[in-house]
Structure 1
C-alpha cells in the first residue's frame, strides 16, 4: 500500500509540476509528500525528478517510470471499480468543469437523477469555459462548446448548441429590422470574444446554397454569456444567442428573432478528458449520463455523430 501511495504522489507531482500543488490535491503535508518521493527514489536507486527552486523536471528514468505508474494505478482503480460495477455504484469525487449556461439549463435541473443513480459520488462543479490543463487543475472531465482543438484530449460529442440572431424591440424600433445581408451589414452587433483568442467572433451564415460570414461593428463586446444576453435585452445591438437561452425572452416579447430564414452555425458540445488516462467508472457514467441528457433536450439534442477518429480514441481510452 505504501508503494502505491508513493506512486500516486510521484505521478501527481509530475502532472501538476509542483510539490506544493501536488500535496494540496492529495491532502498531504508537503513534507510528507517530499519524503514519499525521496523514499521511492532510494528504493529504486534512481533519480526520478530534477528539482530546483524554480521548476521541477522529470529525468529519463523518471519519465519511463511515470508511464508505468500511470498504467498500474489505472489498473488498481479499475480493479476496485469492478467490484461495484455490478450495481453501478462508482464512488469518490468527480471534478467537472463547464460553462454557466450548460450548467444552469441542462445539468443542475437534472442532478437529482444523477445522484439517485450514483449515490456514492460527490460532484465538484466549476465554471470556467477557458482552456485548462485538466491534470494540473485536478479536473476529471470538461464540457465545452465548439470544435475541440486539443489533440491530447478524447472528445465525445454529446450535444449541439443551436444559435440564431436576436434583437430587442427597443433596438429594432430605433434601428429598423434587417431583411437581407445588405441591410444587416448596416446594423450594430453585440460581439462575443473568443475565450481562446480574445478576438471578436464572426458569424457564419447560410441560406440554402448561399453561405457567408459577417462581423458587424459593435459598441460592446464581452466573453460572458450573461452579460452578452443582458446587452441584447437592453437594446445595444443584434446578438447571436442560443435558442435555449433566448426562448423565454422571445415568449415574453423581450427578444425578436432576426432574419430567421438565414441559419447561423450549430456548435458541438463535447465531453473531454485526457487520452493518456484510463477512463474511470465515475467519468464513464457521467459522460454517458450527460450524453443521454443532452440527446433528450429540445434545444441541445440532435448532435452530429462523432467522427471515426473520436470514436476510436474514446474506445482506446476506455480500454
Structure 2
C-alpha cells in the first residue's frame, strides 16, 4: 500500500465530504479512492469513516488521524517544494478563481507575459463573484476582495482597492446631483449588488467629519457580477461604488461623475487566498508573485502584511 497516497485520499474525502468529489480532485477513480481508504483502515486496524448512501462521516479515530495526517502531508509537501523549487521549472495546471473585474482589467490582458516566462504552466481561470468550494473544486489560488469568511483558508493581504462613488453624466443630468447619502433611500437610486447566501443587496457606508452613515439604497436593478455592476452604473441605472483605478478613463472623459466627493468610502482589502498546503506549490508561488507585481503596476495599493489562517 502507498501509505502517503492513502493518507492523501483519506484527507481529501474528509475535506470534500464524499468519495466522488475527492476522486475528481485527486484525478483517481472512485473505486481507487475507496480501496485506498479501506486499505488504510485495514493497516491501522480501525474505522476512520462511517459511510451511508448519502454522506460520509468521520469517526472519532478518523478525526484524530485526520489532524495528524494533515500535518504530515503538509510537511512532506513543504519539503518537496523547498527542494524542487531550486532545480525545476514550474509546470502543470493551475486552477485560479477571481472576480470578473480583476480578471478582465488586470489579469487576462497581461497573461501573455506570464506564459512567456512560464510556458509550462497552464491556467484554468474561473471568473465570477460566486462562493467557491476551494477543496471540492480543486482551486489552487484565488484573488478576492474583502476579508475571507472561511477561516480554514490561508489568506495573504496583497493590497487594497480604493473606491469612488459615482454616477453617469446622464443620470446626474436627469436626477440632479445628490447632497447627502440618505437621498439614495428616498429620491435617488443606486445599482444594487447581491451575493449568496441570502442574496441580500449590500449596504453602503460613508464617513465625513466624524459622521458615519450606512444606507440601504433604492435600486431598479441589482446584479451579482462586478463587470455587470460597472456596466449598469455607466448605463445610468443608478450610482455605485466602483474601483477608482478601474474607472479612471471614464472619469477623465466625463462619462462618470464623482458623487458625494467629500464623503469617505473605506477601501476594500485585497487578498490572495489558498486552500491549506497549496501555497507550498512552486507554480502557485510564481503566479502569486507575478500577480502582486502586476497589481502594483495597475495602481492597486500594495500591502505586504500576511494574514494567518
Fold match by TM threshold 0.5: yes
Taking only aligned residues, the RMSD between alpha carbons, in angstroms, comes to 2.6
Note the 1:265-284 alignment, pairs <5 A: 265-275=266-276, 279-284=280-285
Contact 1:97 1:129 in 2 (8 A): no
List per-residue Cα deviations over 1:101-120 (Å, max 9, x = no partner): 11111122222333344343
The Cα shift of 1:51 comes to 0.8
**DSSP-derived class of the 1:306 partner:** coil
1:145 maps to which residue? 145
Contact 1:84 1:90 in 2 (8 A): no
**Residue 249 (1) aligns with residue 267 (2):** no
Contact 1:158 1:295 in 2 (8 A): no
Note the 1:87-166 alignment, pairs <5 A: 89-166=89-166
Gaps of 5+ in 1: 315-319
Distance (whole Å) between structure 2 residues aligned to residue 10 and residue 181 of structure 1: 53
**DSSP-derived class of the 2:76 partner:** helix
**DSSP-derived class of the 2:162 partner:** strand
Distance (whole Å) between structure 1 residues aligned to residue 123 and residue 228 of structure 2: 27
Contact 1:74 1:277 in 2 (8 A): no
The Cα shift of 1:193 comes to 1.7
**DSSP-derived class of the 2:202 partner:** coil
Contact 2:128 2:225 in 1 (8 A): no
Distance (whole Å) between structure 1 residues aligned to residue 111 and residue 121 of structure 2: 12
Gaps of 5+ in 2: none
1:175 maps to which residue? 175
**DSSP-derived class of the 1:286 partner:** helix
**DSSP-derived class of the 1:259 partner:** coil
Note the 1:71-82 alignment, pairs <5 A: 71-82=71-82
Note the 1:224-235 alignment, pairs <5 A: 224-235=225-236
Distance (whole Å) between structure 2 residues aligned to residue 134 and residue 85 of structure 1: 24
1:14 maps to which residue? 14
Assess, with a 3 A threshold, how the Cα gap between structure 1 residues 150 and 35 changes in structure 2: closer, same or farther: closer
The Cα shift of 1:3 comes to 2.4
Normalising by structure 1, we get a TM-score of: 0.85
The Cα shift of 1:277 comes to 6.8
**DSSP-derived class of the 1:137 partner:** coil
**DSSP-derived class of the 1:142 partner:** strand
Assess, with a 3 A threshold, how the Cα gap between structure 1 residues 14 and 216 changes in structure 2: closer, same or farther: closer
The Cα shift of 1:258 comes to 1.9
1:306 maps to which residue? 305
The Cα shift of 1:121 comes to 2.6
List per-residue Cα deviations over 1:75-102 (Å, max 9, x = no partner): 3333332333225733332222111111
Distance (whole Å) between structure 2 residues aligned to residue 241 and residue 96 of structure 1: 23
List per-residue Cα deviations over 1:40-82 (Å, max 9, x = no partner): 2222222221111111112222222223332333333333323
1:222 maps to which residue? 223
**DSSP-derived class of the 2:247 partner:** helix
2:67 maps to which residue? 67
1:317 maps to which residue? none
Distance (whole Å) between structure 2 residues aligned to residue 150 and residue 123 of structure 1: 24
Distance (whole Å) between structure 2 residues aligned to residue 67 and residue 90 of structure 1: 29
**DSSP-derived class of the 1:204 partner:** strand
Normalising by structure 2, we get a TM-score of: 0.87
Note the 1:176-215 alignment, pairs <5 A: 176-181=176-181, 186-215=187-216
The range that moved more, 102-111 or 82-91, is 82-91
**DSSP-derived class of the 1:190 partner:** strand
The range that moved more, 122-131 or 179-188, is 179-188
Contact 2:159 2:301 in 1 (8 A): yes
Contact 1:16 1:137 in 2 (8 A): no
Distance (whole Å) between structure 1 residues aligned to residue 100 and residue 87 of structure 2: 32
The Cα shift of 1:158 comes to 1.0
